[in-house]
Amino acid sequence: MGKRVVVVGGDAAGMSAASQIRRANPELAVTVYEQGAYAAYGACGIPYLISGEVDSYESLLALGADDFARRGIEVCLQHQVVAVKPGARVVEVRHGAGAVRSVRYDYLVLATGAVPVAPAWMEVSVAQVHGLRGLSDGMTVRRIIDSGQVARAVIVGTGLIGMEMAEALSKRGLQVTVIGRSQRMIFGLDRVFLEPVVRSLSDRGIELLQDQTVTGLQSQAGRVSAVVLLDRRIPADLVIVATGVRPSTALAREAGIGVGRSGGIAVSDRLKTEVPGVYAAGDCVELTHIVTGARVVAPLALTANRTGRIAGDNLAAESLGRLSAQRFRGTAGTAVTRVFDHSVACAGLDEEQARAAGFAPAVFERESRSRASYYPGGTPVYTRIVVDRRTQRLLGAQILGQEGVAGRIDVVAAALFNRMTVQQVYDLELAYAPPFGPVYDPLIEVCGRAALELGTL
């Protein structure tokens, strides 16, 4: 009888691992257990499903269970792995409300993802209050809005999901209030840098309340009617809770599989845990930060897919008695999002993080243009970089603008992975044409200014 691989979790990391295992060693039997009703879908598209920009949930499904079966992967939906017993190489699985059964494995991949950080006031069961853990949650929120019975929405959280949902719900015609507990917003950036985004929210009638504490919910006939703050109540027919996520590590902890200081499952650069035969990947693991070398969690789509593929390749190689060349080099936390007309992107460290990591940070900012000054349609591009004073090494950047943001942050990510100084970034030959930017790209400009002030240019 051939060897069996069990994958726990059917989202990005789990399905990437399963697919790579089958490609690298077709002799392995692969079973994926997913506790939800869907697997292999584009979770990042959920806000756009809710806004109506994506027509239907089927558009977000990469492949169905039948498609994976044709590839030799058994996908078991609505199957919850309730325990892992590494000593016996067994997982205990429950299908729906059925009995628990034991399934033996030779190799195991934990791809349990992340779970929302739920405030204490969410423990009270009130209808029309939702997190966005997965596709089913997104479909539920869309159905609620489609019913035409909600007019006022409150979003708790001013991070990535909170801002994307503010746009989505506004586009559906709802009156939207966004509540944050500090002046920090998307990617932990301060309000001063994000002022153009704040203005765009205000221009569309979205109320932004910062430095606020939510103390509870008010309900009527079992449905939410208001969000309660320390000094007021905000009427609401729908509440979206977007207060962050944390690695889902309960299974690992209960099985005695090591969890790092960051809160994620401890893995090597081959995505292998300390327990023989057990790998882990995706939002549930801790990884190396490319700038600091510290162990961090990085709930990002590409990171989840990539770590899943690397875990799968190394597992398959181990089953064949060899080593894979695939290793995870690190994460810079590179991310981009859109809020109405603006894009916001970041990579690497901000000033506070750089100082905490032992660097001597210097911050440089520049307002430039997205196109040549004489070419019509150009808009402002705001760039902020963090540089180590001692070495002139680029440590991180944030970019805000209406166009050209994603490509520029990708240059930053490449620079971070190659430990480049601002002088070296300034020396890069970046593409130029009037519709795409000025001769001196905004990133080149700000790095040139930094190099000049730090005495290297």
- What is the set of active-site residues? 44
Helix axes 12-24, 301-319, angle to 10 degrees: 30
Q: DSSP label at 252?
A: H
174 neighbors 155 (Cβ within 8 angstroms): no
**Two tokens at 2?**
């051939």
State whether residue 200 is helix, strand or coil.
helix
Q: With residue 20 as reference, give the H or E element that holds it.
A: helix 12-24
Amino acid letter, residue 368: S
CA torsion angle 188 192 196 201 (round to 10) = 70
The residues near 407 (Cβ < 8 Å, ≥ 6 apart) are: none
The residues near 315 (Cβ < 8 Å, ≥ 6 apart) are: 5, 17, 21, 107, 109, 279
Q: Any bridge partners for residue 120, and if so which?
A: none
In angstroms, rounded to a whole number, what is the distance separating the alpha carbons of residues 367 and 138?
Answer: 37
**Two tokens at 103?**
């399934």
The residues near 58 (Cβ < 8 Å, ≥ 6 apart) are: none
Residue 210: count of CB within 10 angstroms of its CB: 15
242 neighbors 155 (Cβ within 8 angstroms): yes
Place of tokens 């939002």: 283
86 neighbors 104 (Cβ within 8 angstroms): no
429 by Cβ neighbours in 10 Å (0-12 / 13-18 / 19+) ranks as exposed
Q: DSSP string covering 318-383, please?
A: HHTTS--S-----B---EEEEETTEEEEEEE--HHHHHHTT--EEEEEEEEESS-TTSTT--EEEE
61 neighbors 55 (Cβ within 8 angstroms): no
Nearest to 20 by CA among 325, 302, 309, 326: 309
**Two tokens at 96?**
């729906």
Query: How close are the terminal C-alpha atoms of the chain, in Å?
Result: 66
Q: Where are the beta strands (DSSP E) in 129-222?
A: 129-130, 152-156, 175-179, 207-209, 214-220
Nearest to 177 by CA among 224, 122, 126: 224
